């Protein structure tokens, strides 16, 4: 699609949407516009270089129309060009492009039918998932048809067929699958006990272009089986996934079968909550095409089961799921009731998380296979209000990150201790001041870091902040930036400016590497 055709499509669709919106008898119309645009500067201190043209802009226009049980919509995307860090930016392949997706559907009388762009998830996503995450730049929708039917409130069956999307277009790779979910407890009318069984099958068809590679077949067939039990505050669930080999660039031509098993046990009650998770993976990832290589075109979902940190220094080296791993996490929290000595007027929350993962890796020196620690994280945080005006959060994280599995030495293990004090003071119902102080201590990588953030909020519309990340252990570099945000009704705008560090951006346990940059960024979201 040329830029002129893209612009024309946006204009025509907008005019059509407005015409529908003016007549309520024709149904309901909704629309959303999102733009994320950055102007880049060269920065000799960090080595960050502005791209050609100095601009990056990711834009999305989504319009939906519903009438009774019928629905239709379109999403128009424009990358003019993509922001740095998206789609291996810097490649001329993604210099500037636009695209759009349509859908139409019906929901009613137990039926759920959709044509066009499809988003779907089987179970936890280990076997199959298509979704959109604009933060990461992921949109792996299928183009095809999905039909689902629900019997009463206890049985749901759905099937789909479609072709796989890459970043810019749809390919000649086709996916077909089916999913069944049966609530035995609802069918038997058990009120106190919950018992659900589920199962899925999936087939990816891709023409074999290279016939001299053993194990490469046009069909990649897989299945998953799931079960969940719940009683009172207890819940036990498990999933097993098995899939034929799908050798490609992304898995180093691995011809072994894909396997994954995940078990979760949880309890909630009396102010206490616990979640224990175990997972074992072998070659679990599935690309939309064997020629693809990258996170943007996976058609399944394998998130890291670790604590998802929000503080910047705790996210310097986040864990991402590996081809071979075994491990899990324990997540615990307790809420001290308000009115007690410890809880105070608003209660006190304490939370702890421990996660650890090992992998079967090849020693780079000897060539032998062995089990090696990949990641470990112990986190404790406490939140408490003092009176009705002052809130304090104290946070600690002890991490061990293996940045070079198989190196066979202790230097590959980066160990860090991160402490955070997050303080908020409310002057009144609308005005508040938040101070965030962080410190990371380590002898590896770039050694010690310190960070501070000061944010003032004029609720519900304005917020201003300034922050600095300072690497005083190695590079002696300050990453100073500021932010101004405004919200009113269905409009949200945010302006960021300054120097930003290279690092990982994570969402839902999936991460992408973002390059360092210095510049001005405008984020705008408008809903109609």
Q: What is the pLDDT of residue 89?
A: 46
**Count of residues in the chain:** 528
User: Is 138 in contact with 296 (CB distance < 8 Å)?
Assistant: yes
DSSP class of 12: H
- pLDDT means over runs of 10, the chain (528 residues): 46 49 72 96 92 94 96 95 79 78 96 97 96 93 97 96 92 96 95 95 86 74 98 96 90 88 96 97 93 87 94 94 95 92 88 96 75 95 93 97 82 94 96 98 95 96 97 95 96 97 88 92 95
Helix (H, G, I), strand (E, B) or coil at 295: helix
Give CA–CA dist 487/19, Å, rounded: 27
Q: What is the pLDDT of residue 390?
A: 95
Q: What is the pLDDT of residue 337?
A: 87
Q: What is the pLDDT of residue 491?
A: 96
Give CA–CA dist 465/518, Å, rounded: 17
- Nearest residue to 472 (alpha-carbon basis) of 436, 440, 500: 440
DSSP class of 24: G
CA distances from 264 to 220, 278, 325, 425, 497 (A): 28, 6, 17, 38, 42
Give CA–CA dist 144/160, Å, rounded: 7
Tally of CA atoms within 13 A in the half-sphere of 3 that contains its CB? 6
CA distances from 143 to 140, 157, 160 (A): 10, 20, 10
Joined tokens for residue 77: 């995307």
Helices (H), 206-308: none
Give CA–CA dist 465/453, Å, rounded: 7
Residues contacting residue 252 through CB under 8 Å, at least 6 positions apart:
none
Residues contacting residue 113 through CB under 8 Å, at least 6 positions apart:
105, 106, 107, 145, 146, 147, 148
Q: What is the pLDDT of residue 91?
A: 54
For the chain, domain boundaries: 109-251+279-293
Helices (H), 97-218: 184-187
Q: What is the pLDDT of residue 408?
A: 67
Give CA–CA dist 101/72, Å, rounded: 11
Give CA–CA dist 28/66, Å, rounded: 5
Tally of CA atoms within 13 A in the half-sphere of 42 that contains its CB? 3
């Amino acid at each position: 699609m040329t830029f002129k055709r893209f612009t024309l499509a946006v204009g025509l669709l907008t005019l059509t949407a407005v015409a529908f919106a003016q007549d309520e008898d024709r149904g309901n119309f909704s629309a959303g516009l999102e733009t994320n645009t950055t102007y880049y500067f060269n920065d000799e201190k960090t080595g960050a270089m502005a791209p050609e043209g100095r601009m990056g802009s990711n834009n999305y226009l989504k319009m939906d129309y519903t009438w009774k049980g019928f629905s239709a919509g379109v999403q128009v995307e424009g990358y003019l060009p993509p922001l740095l860090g998206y789609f291996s930016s810097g490649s001329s392949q993604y210099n500037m492009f636009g695209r759009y997706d349509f859908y139409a559907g019906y929901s009613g009388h137990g039926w759920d039918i959709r044509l066009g762009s499809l988003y779907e998830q089987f179970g936890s996503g280990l076997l199959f998932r298509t979704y959109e995450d604009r933060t990461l730049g992921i949109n792996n929708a299928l183009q095809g048809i999905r039909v689902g039917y629900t019997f009463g409130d206890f049985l749901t069956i759905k099937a789909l067929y479609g072709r796989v999307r890459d970043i810019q277009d749809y390919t000649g790779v086709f996916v077909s699958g089916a999913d069944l979910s049966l609530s035995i407890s609802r069918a038997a009318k058990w009120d106190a006990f919950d018992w659900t069984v589920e199962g899925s099958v999936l087939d990816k068809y891709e023409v074999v272009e290279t016939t001299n590679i053993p194990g490469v077949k046009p069909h990649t067939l897989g299945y998953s089986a799931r079960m969940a039990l719940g009683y009172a505050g207890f819940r036990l669930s498990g999933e097993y996934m098995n899939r034929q080999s799908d050798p490609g660039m992304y898995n180093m031509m691995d011809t072994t079968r894909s396997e994954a098993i995940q078990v979760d046990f949880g309890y909630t009650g009396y102010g206490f909550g616990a979640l224990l998770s175990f997972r074992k993976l072998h070659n679990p990832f599935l690309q939309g095409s064997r020629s693809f290589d990258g996170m943007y075109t996976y058609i399944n979902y394998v998130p890291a089961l670790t604590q998802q940190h929000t503080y910047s220094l705790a996210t310097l080296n986040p864990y991402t799921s590996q081809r071979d791993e075994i491990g899990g996490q324990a997540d615990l929290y307790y809420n001290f009731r308000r009115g007690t000595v410890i809880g105070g007027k608003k209660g006190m929350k304490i939370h702890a998380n421990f996660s650890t993962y090992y992998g079967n890796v090849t020693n780079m020196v000897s060539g032998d296979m062995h089990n090696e620690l990949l990641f470990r994280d112990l986190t404790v945080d406490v939140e408490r209000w003092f009176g009705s005006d002052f809130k304090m959060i104290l946070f600690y994280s002890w991490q061990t990150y293996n940045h070079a599995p198989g190196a066979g030495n202790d230097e590959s293990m980066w160990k860090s201790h991160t402490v955070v004090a997050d303080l908020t003071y409310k002057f009144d119902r609308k005005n508040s001041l938040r101070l965030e102080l962080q410190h990371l201590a380590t002898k590896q990588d770039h050694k010690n870091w310190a960070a501070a953030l000061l944010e003032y909020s004029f609720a519900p519309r304005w917020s201003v902040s300034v922050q600095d990340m300072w690497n005083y252990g190695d590079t002696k570099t300050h990453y100073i930036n500021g932010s101004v945000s405004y919200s009113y009704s269905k409009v949200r705008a945010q302006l960021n400016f300054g120097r930003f560090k290279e690092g990982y951006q994570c969402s839902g346990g999936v991460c992408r590497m973002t390059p360092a940059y210095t510049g001005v960024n405008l984020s705008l979201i408008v809903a109609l």
